[in-house]
Amino acid sequence: MKRVITFGTFDVFHVGHVNIIERARSLGDYLIVGISSDKLNISKKGRAPIYSEQDRIKIIGSLKFVDETFLEESLELKEEYLKKYNADILVMGDDWKGKFDHFNSICEVKYLERTPSVSTTELIEIAKSR
């Protein structure tokens, strides 16, 4: 039984999010998704997500590809999360290519191609301009 883990904000849910979650799940038998807390986003991206962490957890947790979710409170805790959740494979979008290779001693690290032409930031910009 292979346990896969992935991380993200998943704000303003879109098809790129579904695609990476679906492909991550297909690499194993059990998918765990770490969802960045509101606080972590404010420090990482300089703004709060549109959807609250509770709502983002509810949306991602409702997907048939997702077996378990948790709140990612700090980027520095990645190693602890990988161990705590017994991850066999860490999946990240290829915008992170190479950045997590040092976790190869704990689990397999895979970068999946991003879905072209869609992102939360772009959706927010489009909505603002209408």
Per CB under 6 A, residues contacting ligand CTP are 8-11, 16-17, 19-20, 92-93, 95, 114-115, 118-121
Task: Tell me how far apart the alpha carbons of residues 11 and 55 are, in angstroms, rounded to a whole number.
Answer: 9
> What's the closest the beta carbon of residue 106 comes to ligand CTP, in angstroms?
19
Q: Which is nearer to ligand CTP, 3 or 56 (CB)?
A: 56
Q: Which is nearer to ligand CTP, 6 or 88 (CB)?
A: 6
Q: Which is nearer to ligand CTP, 10 or 100 (CB)?
A: 10
Q: Which is nearer to ligand CTP, 54 or 121 (CB)?
A: 121
Tokens of 49: 């997500």
Residue nearest ligand CTP by beta-carbon distance: 93
> What's the closest the beta carbon of residue 96 comes to ligand CTP, in angstroms?
7
For the chain, give the secondary structure using H, E and C.
Answer: CCEEEEEECCCCCCHHHHHHHHHHHHCCCEEEEEEECHHHHHHHHCCCCCCCHHHHHHHHHCCCCCCEEEEECCHHHHHHHHHHCCCCEEEEEHHHCCCCHHHHHCCEEEEECCCCCCCHHHHHHHHHHC
> What's the closest the beta carbon of residue 127 comes to ligand CTP, in angstroms?
13
> What's the closest the beta carbon of residue 122 comes to ligand CTP, in angstroms?
7
